[in-house]
Amino acid sequence: MHWYQTSLGKKYIMAATGLGMVGFVIVHLIGNLSIYAGPAAINTYAEKLHQLVPLVWSFRLVMAILLLTHICTGTLLYLENRKARPVSYACRKNVRTSLPAETMIWSGLLLAVFIIYHLLHFTLRVTNPDISNLLDPLGRPNVFAMVALSFAKASISLAYVSAMIVLLLHLYHGIQSLFQSLGLNNGKTLPVIEKSGRAAACVLLAGYTSIPVAFLFGTLNI
């Protein structure tokens, strides 16, 4: 465990767990976009997923470990950095720093709050029980109706769009940073990795926000 006590060891852990979660966020978006194919498509997708019981639970366990490790290690790194530099600079001249990079701890903690809300909303279905346990004409859980009726409410859509902006902020710096921590770049590839990471974060923002926005403005409806 000695390497975990070093900053470098912790950065590797942050990068490896971050990479796993970026993978999840991409796959989850692709699954969610099936909503554009209509109720039958997303309800079938959700039903098939839930039939793979051992796989779903193994996946949930892995994701929970990745998430908790990422949060705990990130918080430790933040506290160690603060301890090393308790007084902030009067005048910062570090030109490579940016708002997303400076606020990683805060965007990360806000995302953790969003994930708790999101699980209570769509997975445990406790925040809006009136619209969360409907069945479709084939007697399956009506995920389409749950998402549609949720996002028809401006307050819920606004909460999701705000959370997706926080996700953008976190990944705008996070994706390129993880390549750096894993040593997968050099002077030549750095600008390409930086641009691709930022572009990927913007694509994820556009994909995810399109869903609440489509229901709120009636482009998609039940």
Q: Of 27 and 192, which has the nearer Cβ to ligand HEM? A: 27
Tell me if 25 contacts ligand HEM by CB under 6 A.
Answer: yes
CB-count exposure of residue 112 (10 Å: 0-12, 13-18, 19+): middle
Residue found by looking up tokens 């051992």 in the block: 54
Query: Could you tell me the smallest distance in angstroms from the CB atom of residue 210 to ligand HEM?
Result: 8
Tell me if 208 contacts ligand HEM by CB under 6 A.
Answer: yes
Its sign, for the CA torsion 15, 16, 22, 26, is: positive
- Per the structure block, which two tokens stand in for 155? 């307050």
HEC secondary structure over 68-107: HHHHHHHHHHHHHHHHHCCCCCCCCCCCCCCHHHHCHHHH
* Count of all residues that appear for the chain in the document: 222
Query: Could you tell me the smallest distance in angstroms from the CB atom of residue 198 to ligand HEM?
Result: 17
User: Which residues inside 44-63 make contact with ligand HEM, applying CB under 6 A?
Assistant: 46, 60, 63
Q: Of 43 and 177, which has the nearer Cβ to ligand HEM? A: 43
User: Which residues inside 86-115 make contact with ligand HEM, applying CB under 6 A?
Assistant: 111, 115
Instruction: Give residues in contact with ligand HEM (CB under 6 A).
Output: 25, 28, 32, 46, 60, 63, 111, 115, 118-119, 122-123, 143, 147, 160, 167, 208, 211-212
